[in-house]
Amino acid sequence: MTCCKCQGVETWFNQKFVERELKKYRKKGPGKPTRILLEAIQATAGVKGSSLLDIGSGDGAIQSELFKSGLSHATGVEGSSAYLAAAKKEAERSGYLDEINFIQGDFVEMEKEIPAADIVTLDKVICCYPDMQTLVGLSSERAGKIYGVIYPVDTWWTKLGARILTFHF
Ligand SMILES: C[S@@+](CC[C@H](N)C(=O)[O-])C[C@H]1O[C@@H](n2cnc3c(N)ncnc32)[C@H](O)[C@@H]1O
């Protein structure tokens, strides 16, 4: 994997963790923060026929949910190979596999190869990346219409982010 700032993610977001997350999503749908982000995007009425760039796409919940609202195409960029495999599995199950371009790696390192999109999302991603400013700067430049971010405050995700950060410096 060519993802130097994302190396810790293979440990944290491993097969076991990811399988649990996918099972939870299939049983209960997206978690609350993701639902808040989805509702905000859907409220703009800008989803139908739009393209999506989902950075740190996890199990692909945002992609799956926005396809139900008429999304035309998606690119999912994800550092964790286990998460990317889960997102492919979920896309196949939901029937959107051919509409999604799956890319594994660090968005910041690969940004020149990543196409812009109408909607750009980062759901609980900024908090676990060591160079938040660059990630936000480069990803926001890719957004044609909507830029949607979830940044959890004082949750175990932010503590995890701090640990990954510590691990890399
Ligand atoms: C806390 S998880 C959230 C996953 C998903 N968005 C969700 O809400 O379920 C954060 C994810 O962002 C990914 N990630 C963080 N920084 C990234 C980057 N620069 N490029 C690609 N993926 C990144 C990690 O690999 C991890 O899977």
Q: What is the pLDDT of residue 4?
A: 45
CA 114 to ligand 1 centroid distance, Å: 16
Full residue range of the structural domain in which residue 148 is found: 4-168
pLDDT mean over 142-167: 69
Indicate if the pLDDT at residue 162 is higher than 60. Answer: no
pLDDT mean over 149-164: 64
CA 77 to ligand 1 centroid distance, Å: 8
Q: pLDDT of 66-86, one tens digit each?
A: 999 999 999 999 999 999 999
pLDDT mean over 91-110: 96
Q: pLDDT of 36-54, one tens digit each?
A: 999 999 998 889 999 999 9
Name residues whose C-beta falls within 8 Å of residue 70's C-beta, 6 or more positions apart in sequence. 47, 48, 49, 50
CATH number of the domain to which 137 belongs: 3.40.50.150
Q: What is the pLDDT of residue 95?
A: 95
Q: How many domains does the chain have?
A: 1
Pocket of ligand 1 contains residue 58 by CB under 6 Å: yes
Burial of 3 (0-12, 13-18, 19+ CB in 10 A): buried
141 falls in which pLDDT band (50, 70, 90)? very high
